Structure 1
Amino acid sequence: MSSSNPQGAKGSITSLKTRPLERSVALTRLGVGAGAKIVAHSIANIFRGEVERNDANREFYRRQAEVLADELGQLKGSVMKAGQMLSLYGQYFLPEEAVSVLSSLQDDTPPVDWKVVRPVLERALGRKRLAELDIDEVPLAAASLGQVHRARRRADGLQLCVKIQYPGVADAIESDIRTLSRLLLMTRLTPKSLDLTPVFNEVREMLHREVDYESERHFTEVFAERLTHDPRFVVPRVIGEYCSDQVLTTTYEHGLNVRDAKVQALAQARRDRLGQAFLELFLTEFFDWGMVQSDPHFGNYRVRIGDDEASDRFVLLDFGATRVFGRGFIDGYAKIVRGAIGGDRQRLIDGATAIGLMKPGFPRSVLDGFAELCELIVEPFAHADDTRVPARLRTADGRYRWGESDLPMRASRVAALNALSVHFRVPPREIVFLHRRLAGVFIMLAALRSELAARPLLERALRRCEKSESP
């Protein structure tokens, strides 16, 4: 095994706070410190002019987020996963400076020292099996619940990725969620009026799924089988003899982050093809398979650049957050989508009622407000001549310019207005999971600056869905 030390700006973590009490104390101490800084900052603002006050506020939010991100990265586990979610969707309710800092949790978190994770590996596989591998002690990637080490099987040189779960993370989930919800209020990074209960309920369920490595192995194998003949995607192959409930070993598959300069420098046509593949994958997962990988942060997707446009591929990683949807929910959601893109509000409302988003007897104004939001969200799938789509978001031949779109912000404003209604309902859990991935699709296509005529893709998926509904 390699004996090199972890390199980079952030050193490795030599010990983990794995007991719920010590993790809670660490976060509470952070919150108390943040409270004192908030008081000092508020007093100082009294004596500042408006411009100076705005600058001070931005700097304050940036410092608060840096402290929070650093502590989450040190603790790992549930709190770090929640931080990732905040960075992904925080643009709708967090200060811009906080989003910028928290986004570092996606791919730039401190690894855990080899001496901490090696005992997990030895207990899971046994020393004899472990001796068959040459494992690099410097992790290839460090995430919230575990880290991945590159390895080589000595017998044949097969390149592997060994994913090791951090000790104690499964036992700390409930305590972490309770403590973090209090911490976010203490740091004032989220508005007091924002109810994060549905978000944390989602995180809790997702985390319990993600620490289930046997389930993740199953979904990895299922995705690999279903995509085996699609040249646009690569799914790692599971190597079963090196797996356990805390260790998952697959083949190593190389690729680049979508934000990498080499990916960003690809010609428009190549970025469009990648964006179309990513969108089609989501539509297939939901409408055809009823099985969606619901954790969309960029660490789970890599781009493998080929020799030409036809050989560029997405490498799909980490299926721990895969969510299965029932046919009834899919059919009801399909009605919402058909109604939204076809201007059929009654069909839209019928679908929303079927899956619990709306209730019979809601006032017309509430139903119309919900329909307006749905019709706005499907903007990228509108006909090329639809005048409701801002002209700047269309290419000369009618394709939607995802990288230029401010649709998430416009939709969030409409959603916020609807949320003020006394009839607003917390959406079903399935919606929360599905829309998290849907938001991830939008962010991915925006990052690729894709220009797509997306409506035909959606219509084909809906037609396939209709066939599956037929007896």
Structure 2
Amino acid sequence: MAHLKTGSLERNIALTKLGFGAGTKIVAHSIANLFRGEISRTQSDRDFYKRQAEILRDELGQLKGSVMKAGQMLSLYGQYFLPEEAVTVLSQLQDDTPAVHWKVVGPVLERALGRARLAELDVDEHPLAAASLGQAHRARRKRDGLELVVKIQYPGVADAIESDIKTLSRLIAMTRMAPKGLDLNPIFAELREMLHREVDYAAERNFTETFARKLADDPRFVVPRVLTEYSSDQVLTTTYEHGYHVKDAKVQALSLERRSALGKAFVDVFVSELFRWNMVQTDPHFGNYRIRPEEDGNDRIVLLDFGATRVFGRGFVDNYASIVRGGVQRDREQIIKGGCGIGLMSADFPRNVLEAFCDMCEMITEPFAGDDPGRVPAHLLNERGEYKWYESDLPMRAGQLAAKNAFSKYFRVPPREIVFLHRRLSGVFIMLATLRAELNARPLLMDVL
């Protein structure tokens, strides 16, 4: 069980010590670099940033709460401006963290529900799962045996968001991991807004119920039912929905046809979320999904945790659709039109910069190219012309091209909508690769476009 540093004084002391230590190490590192050659200095910088990020990761992991969650999100933004070593380390701040003792979260549950209502439940004090902002416990309603999951927010995390964000921004400045002159205020403003959303259990309850309504007639999906009588601003209770992790042997042993059908469902729900509903669950963590194999072969996907759901404006979605449509159809004017509409590009950029952007968009949409001749490496298509997601090195190729373009003076840190949308898109790709799915996703995409 982890110790939760909930008091503002305790958290500030821990972060101040971290910042002071970082400042001292920076001075020592800068002095040492004066006596190093250019090549060894570069390696020294890489090692230094890695050590700094490891210290930051370890301390944030102990603190839990909003500052740890912000560290996770920073790794997403950081891929656009932080040293690669720092991004790699910060991305290890995952939500499968040590749980907090029941004596800390139990009182939160009792205050939220009241003793009489809580007495209706048998709650397992050993957590089912633990994350940075709260943890989940199995429960059973005594009168009918209904199996439940009770998600409890850690005490003090909502109140600590403002101070945690300020402290984290100072730490990033002190560790000198961000480029000099880069304005990080918009990024930390987005992190602040995101954290306030994730501790808003009323909003999460509404999103859960909305997804349940939209998918009620689709037998491929299961969304837990919210029990409002056992929920509050710090507690969210839903039905327990059984299923297996996607990497479980029972899922991996399914036939190619069934695994590909599951992959098709994952793509289908994602494109529906973005292009039809303009509302995307942006956290692709595998813990947010369960696979329920069925005897009749019509397997189901259990969708969990809608706290990271984002609503996208119609203008953004239309422009993004233009980029995607242009990428799939190799219509570069469509790509540029959408890129300018979102703010990724400007029409007065040099033509070679615009062409490089189009190259990237056409590469990223490769799995949706269908039978477009020459678009997809031959070894990534099966005999039916379906894309073999698990064999694709597309993320590596796209990452290399993005890194090359990032050195351009015309490069811009993407709008916040792009960062979180691509987080989910990457999750879809990884999910299909893990399922070892083979399918042509073009009809699914073009249907919504």
Q: Same-fold call, TM > 0.5?
A: yes
Larger mean CA deviation between 156-165 and 362-371 belongs to 362-371
Cα 1:417/1:72, change in 2 over 3 Å: same
Q: Which amino acid aligns with 1:215?
A: A
Tell me the secondary structure at the aligned position of residue 148 of structure 2: strand
Q: TM-score normalized by structure 1? A: 0.82
CA shift in 2, pair 1:263/1:180, >3 Å: farther
What does residue 349 of structure 1 align with? 336
Q: Which residue pairs with 2:38 in the alignment?
A: none
> How do 1:276-315 and structure 2 match up within 5 A?
276-307=264-295, 309-311=297-299, 313-315=300-302
CA deviation map 1:299-343 (0-9, x unaligned): 2222223335422x2211111121112222222221111111111
Alignment length, in residue pairs?
449
Structure 1 gaps of 5+ residues are 1-11, 48-52, 463-471
* Residues 198, 426 of structure 1: 8 Å contact kept: no
2:153 is the counterpart of 1:159: no
Residues 138 and 221 (structure 1), Cα distance of their counterparts in 2 relative to 1, 3 Å cut: same
In structure 1, which of residues 358, 364, 369 is the aligned counterpart of residue 356 of structure 2? 369
Provide the residue aligned with 1:450 in structure 2: 437
- 1:180 aligned onto 2:178: no
2:62 alignment partner in structure 1: 74
- Provide the secondary structure at the position in 1 that maps to 2:151: strand
> 1:125-204 to 2 correspondence within 5 Å?
125-183=113-171, 200-204=188-192
Aligned to 2:227: 239
Q: Deviation per CA, 1:236-290: give whole Å up to 9, x if none.
A: 0000111111111111112232233433343333322221111111001111111
Structure 1 distance, partners of 2:185, 2:251, is 37
8 Å Cα contact 1:106-1:298 kept in structure 2: no
| Gapped regions of structure 2 (runs ≥ 5) | 36-40
Deviations 1:16-67 (A, max 9, x none): 3341x532331342355467778999999999xxxxx999999998876665
- Give runs of aligned pairs for residues 15-94 of structure 1, distance below 5 A: 15-19=4-8, 21-33=9-21, 68-85=56-73
Aligned equivalents of 1:78 and 1:46: distance in 2? 38
Paired position in structure 2 for 1:109: 97
CA separation of 1:174 and 1:303: change in aligned 2, threshold 3 A: same
Report the secondary structure of 2:205's partner residue. Answer: helix
1:259 corresponds to 2:241 = no
Counterpart amino acid of 2:116? Answer: K
Shift of 1:14: 4.3
Deviation, 1:90, is 7.7
| Secondary structure in 2 matching 1:310 | coil
> 1:218 aligns to what?
206
Matched residues in 2 for 1:258 and 1:92: separation? Answer: 30
Normalising by structure 2, we get a TM-score of 0.86
Give identity over the alignment, percent.
70
Structure 1 pair 101–265 and aligned structure 2 pair: CA distance change class (3 A): farther
Equivalent residue, structure 1, for 2:380: 393
Indicate how the Cα distance of structure 1 residues 92 and 300 shifts in structure 2: closer, same or farther if over 3 A, else same. Answer: farther
8 Å CA contact 1:114, 1:137 repeated in 2: yes
**Equivalent of 1:332 in 319, 322, 326:** 319
CA–CA distance in structure 2, aligned partners of residues 428 and 89 of structure 1:
10
Quote the offset at 1:295 in angstroms: 1.7
Aligned with 1:307: secondary structure?
coil
Matches of 1:404 and 1:54, distance apart in 2: 34
Superposition CA RMSD, Å: 3.6
- Please say which of residues 136-145 and 63-72 is displaced more in the overlay: 63-72
Structure 1 segment 431-470 matched on structure 2, within 5 A:
431-462=418-449
Moved more, 162-171 or 354-363: 354-363
